[in-house]
Structure 1
């Protein structure tokens, strides 16, 4: 079976590794860019994605480039705690959660593909726009997927919800546990920070979010430069003692602007030897740290389904699940706790229990884990998607 993958991002490369592990020998990855460079900033890999990379034999490599997340904590815009929970091994998972530079992860996967499938398995400067002579074309070519456009011509640009994200990285002092991921906000603005390198210096990935001023520029382009003074003025008084947001913003070498966009759910992914994967299938708001994780899971399920000679099973398993997650992210997912806290106590509070009961917070967190597929018990009990050729 000849398989062509359009796109050498995280999803496409994981698909190549998964297909190879399942016994498919004729797999090539085509990347439109002439050179694969470590672009981007930080992302998170949740335990269900780390499980899949572990079963592909990449656990040791991943541990060397990632920071094992110890906790996730939400605060209001004054830095008052709303909710916190352990993450990864500390939360009882059999697999860690990692914060990692997206480009370093992509190069790790690329290196593994070239080792296992051969140096000719990845072809750069090769843009795939539709099916050719292969038995199966997998569109893993991102939010502006040419393969998706072939299947759904005239869809137009990704819809924007009126918010803008600014992303950067800054060397700074560790905060809280030193491996914490924090989100602070008031329902209108939000600031996220987490380390992606630790050691002599801590490299902190940060995201600042607020409503757009004017029209959304270049929807879906993560690499549009943004001015640090412009970002900083919107967060000038966000200093919490344990984290100095203005200093973190001003200390970055560069920042990038990205309007908050996604793609509407599709009624179908697979047509006559073509299917979609990752952002090409279900681009979603960067809420809940799920984008890369879901692409990795897509890749593993697709390889498993093909090994069972049941391509339709891939879509049966993945399309409803990712549609539910995409729609949940449009409602802010687990980050809705910051909005609720602001609505119920806009001037701040001393005790969150007086604003949002613990049981309500726990249900919001647990419900999202179930929707996204990383509820600890279900993840541990689920059979492996590995295939013995």
Structure 2
């Protein structure tokens, strides 16, 4: 079996590693001409960390990432509303890791090239379209560096090409633009002093007006006695600005800073934290409505191409990593790739779509809004502001969106573990088949 993975992001590269581990031939393409360590911070929930550790990446992750120990909610003055342990401190089998997205992507890409060969990742290759028959998929690819188009034939195509997926567009040609919720985000990374435990994630303010998320992402900086802080500023703005999701748009300090003047926690001035970032990125908080199908014969969607969601609860990358493990296991355990893809969809679609919807209506954010309304000038005791039931709603809300509680969270998230011996074929712990036929295929010609 040969699989074409479209997209060399977190989901696509992890899929390549999982497929290779299962004994399946795979090639990854990406439209960028060079994979650069771009982006800002990312969180890996414990079940996603476990997937990567089982791929042999545990030591490398520990060298790069901060094992997040707690999540702390504060008001804009730094008064504590609520906290809970995360990762190992919460009893999980694996850490919750915070690290730079570019470093994670670079680690995955280097591992793919080391295990599969340098040519396993082909950059400057833009997916155009795919046609399939009962036995194969013919994908048309545009080579940006040579300015020509060619075809590649594989047994399966996996679209892991993100929010603006070309593979998804081929299956949903009339889909509208991503759905914006009225919140604009600014993101950056800043060298600062450590705060709280040095491995704490802080959420301050509320999504009614302005909210700030901050956490350290560099084990190297921690070893040097400092902290590389990833910060996300979320501000609800009037619906009068262009809201196209462009992950590379440069933000202006003058747009975000006025919303956070006077904010502080643990001796850190938030205005100074934001101002200290060398580069600020700006984009709207968007998702897409869940769809009822990710699989179309021999073509499947994965990660943000399948279930783009608000970046809440540390789920975007984590869910893509879970997808990767399941799709590899089901393909390895099925004689017909179409049945394997349908089994992947059956295992993952409902769980991931539920998170997309949960991220739109978070009880914890409603509670934070109550704090802002009831104590706009701060407070001394949170018990004077919120009831026990309201405090409990914060924990329930975050558990709904993070999809993590204990070591059993993987199974509840629709995960299927791949067991391997060396590099041989894998046997999934659960599998499913279907007698359903794929959509009527478009015949293709023989390729050279």
* Superposition map of 1:209-288 within 5 A: 209-213=234-238, 215-217=240-242, 219-288=244-313
Question: Residues 163 and 122 (structure 1 numbering): CA distance in 2 closer, same or farther, change over 3 Å?
Answer: same
Partner of 1:337: 367
Partner of 1:37: 36
RMSD after superposition: 1.9
Partner of 1:128: 127
Deviations 1:239-296 (A, max 9, x none): 2353210110111112110111111101111011111000001111111111110110
* SS, match of residue 223 in structure 2: coil
Partner of 1:11: 11
Return the index of the structure with the highest Cα Rg.
2
Q: CA deviation at 1:76?
A: 1.7
List gaps (5 residues or longer) in structure 2: 131-137, 139-152, 335-339, 426-448
Q: Distance in 1 between matches of 2:400 and 2:243?
A: 33
Work out which of the residue numbers 156, 178, 194 in structure 1 matches 2:215: 194
Partner of 2:430: none
Partner of 2:346: 316
Q: Does the 8 A contact of 1:76 with 1:185 survive in 2?
A: yes
Q: Distance in 1 between matches of 2:363 and 2:247?
A: 22
TM-score using structure 1 length = 0.94
Deviations 1:54-95 (A, max 9, x none): 111110011111111111101122221111011111111111
Deviations 1:105-160 (A, max 9, x none): 00000011111111111110111133223211100000000001000002132111
Q: Distance in 2 between matches of 1:157 and 1:102?
A: 25
Partner of 2:162: 142
Q: Does 1:93 align with 2:92?
A: yes
* SS, match of residue 317 in structure 1: helix
Question: Residues 364 and 251 (structure 1 numbering): CA distance in 2 closer, same or farther, change over 3 Å?
Answer: closer
Q: Does 1:57 align with 2:78?
A: no
Q: CA deviation at 1:194?
A: 0.7
Q: Does the 8 A contact of 2:185 with 2:285 survive in 1?
A: yes
Question: Residues 66 and 335 (structure 1 numbering): CA distance in 2 closer, same or farther, change over 3 Å?
Answer: farther
Q: Does the 8 A contact of 2:33 with 2:124 survive in 1?
A: yes
Q: CA deviation at 1:365?
A: 2.1
Partner of 2:133: none
Q: Does the 8 A contact of 2:215 with 2:229 survive in 1?
A: yes
Q: Does the 8 A contact of 2:310 with 2:356 survive in 1?
A: yes
Q: Does 1:180 align with 2:200?
A: yes
Q: Distance in 1 between matches of 2:305 and 2:411?
A: 29
Q: How many residues align?
A: 388
Q: CA deviation at 1:230?
A: 2.4
Work out which of the residue numbers 148, 151, 158 in structure 1 matches 2:178: 158
Partner of 1:387: 419
Question: Residues 155 and 207 (structure 1 numbering): CA distance in 2 closer, same or farther, change over 3 Å?
Answer: same
